[in-house]
Amino acid sequence: MPSESKRIPASLTVMIRSSGQEILQEWLSEQLSADTLRLDLIDEKTLEVESQEFLAVLSSALGSEELVDFERPAWQPVLSFLDELSRARDHAGFGPIETASFVLSLKQPLFARSLENPEKQSSKEEIWCVNQVLDHLALYTTDLFRERREATILRQQEEMEELSTPVVKVWDGILALPLVGTLDTRRSQMVTESLLEAIAATGSEIAILDMTGVPAIDTRMAQHLMRTVAATRLMGADCILSGIRPQIAQTIVHLKIQLGDIKTESTLAAALKSAFRQSGLKVQAEG
């Protein structure tokens, strides 16, 4: 029966309340002798304060509920405490296992107490309940750790994508887009979007797509490039491809990719010169 197995035995609450100090002391000595202890990252005093606080919020949640249900508001302080703790420990350099061990190590002193309970049935229920609660809370801390890592990865990915698609205005009416790495569908969409928006915003008529930083190309990426050029032309601007490496040129020939009538130049400098010419500009040495 799920509801029965999730029941919080009253005897457990009584036990934690009546011998809180002893439990805390046992738990602390347990933690201080554990392999996962990291006195290089945390001092004994902080560990004591944290342990005391966790025991207090846990005891209060257990005391105000009849069933183990982490969705209930009574558990919120416990979860918030662990949010805070795991963030702080993550920051200090603790690994996810070390943080989870903090929660799990409380099992030992609580089990020891429960085993002293002469009522076999109560003792069993207490142990089952403690086991469930602490397992869940330990998993919760590792989950928080994972979520934070994922958020970091996502942020870095976005930053990288932004960094790798800079549209540079090199002259009035001339934009340059230095492409770096390979373009997948998502990135090429972003590249095209930022280029088109920059064309609209600056009123530029020429966009140089510089491929110097592109190590290799495949049919798909070539198609993306063609689309970027096609969209640019629909807006009324023109594209010049520059810096195509010899290997890429070979691939283009080999894959029989038709670059159509897209203008190409060997280097970014040559493309810029061509763009100047197209805009009726002339670069001249002084004097």
Partner 1 sequence: MNIPLELVSVQTDDDLSRVRKAVSTCASSLSFDVMSRTRLVTAASELARNMLKYGGGGVVQIEKLRESSRVGLRATFEDQGPGMADTEKALTDGFSSGRGLGLGLGGARRLVDEFLLDSQPGRGTKVSIATWVRNR
Partner 2 sequence: MDRIPIAKIGSCLFATIQVDMHDRLALALREDLGSELLRTQAKGVLLDITSLDTLDTFIARLLAGIGAMAQLLGARTVLVGMRPAVAMTLVELGLTLEGVQTALNVERGMALLEATR
- Contact footprint for partner 2 (CB under 8 A): 189, 192-193, 196-197, 199-200, 203, 205, 227, 230-237
* Number of neighbouring beta carbons within 10 Å of residue 218: 13
Interface with partner 1 in residues 174-203 (CB under 8 A): 189, 193
With CB under 5 to 8 Å by kind, the binding choice for 158 among partner 1, partner 2, none is partner 1
Among residues 217, 192, 221, 220, which one has the least CA distance to residue 207?
192
What, of partner 2, partner 1, none, does residue 232 touch, CB below 5 to 8 Å by kind?
partner 2
The rounded distance, in Å, linking the Cα atoms of 145 and 98 is: 11
Question: Kindly report the CA angle at 283 between 278 and 286, in degrees rounded to 5?
Answer: 165
Q: Shortest Cβ distance from residue 158 to partner 1 (Å)?
A: 7
Q: Would you say 194 or 202 has its CB closer to partner 1?
A: 194
Q: Is 172 in the site for partner 1 (CB under 8 A)?
A: no
In 3D, which of 224, 189, 230 has the Cα closest to residue 207?
230
Q: Please, which residue, 151 or 235, has the CB nearer to partner 2?
A: 235
Rounded CA Rg of the chain = 32
* Residue 231 touches which member of partner 2, partner 1, none, C-beta under 5-8 Å by kind: partner 2
Interaction of residue 66 with partner 1, rule CB under 8 A: no
Dist CA 244 CA 237 (whole Å)? 21
Binding to partner 1 by CB under 8 A, coded x per residue (else -) over 209-238, reads ------------------------------
Instruction: Pick the closer one to partner 2 by CB: 234 or 285.
Output: 234
* 158 near partner 1, judged by CB under 8 A: yes
Angle of helix 10-18 relative to helix 107-116, nearest 10 degrees, comes to 110
**Which of 39, 234 has the CB closer to partner 2?**
234
Q: Give the list of residues 6+ apart from residue 157 with CB closer than 8 angstroms, or none.
A: none
CA atoms within 13 A on the CB side of 56: 7
Q: What is the DSSP code (8-state) at residue 6?
A: T
- Return residues touching partner 1 (CB under 8 A): 154, 158, 189, 193
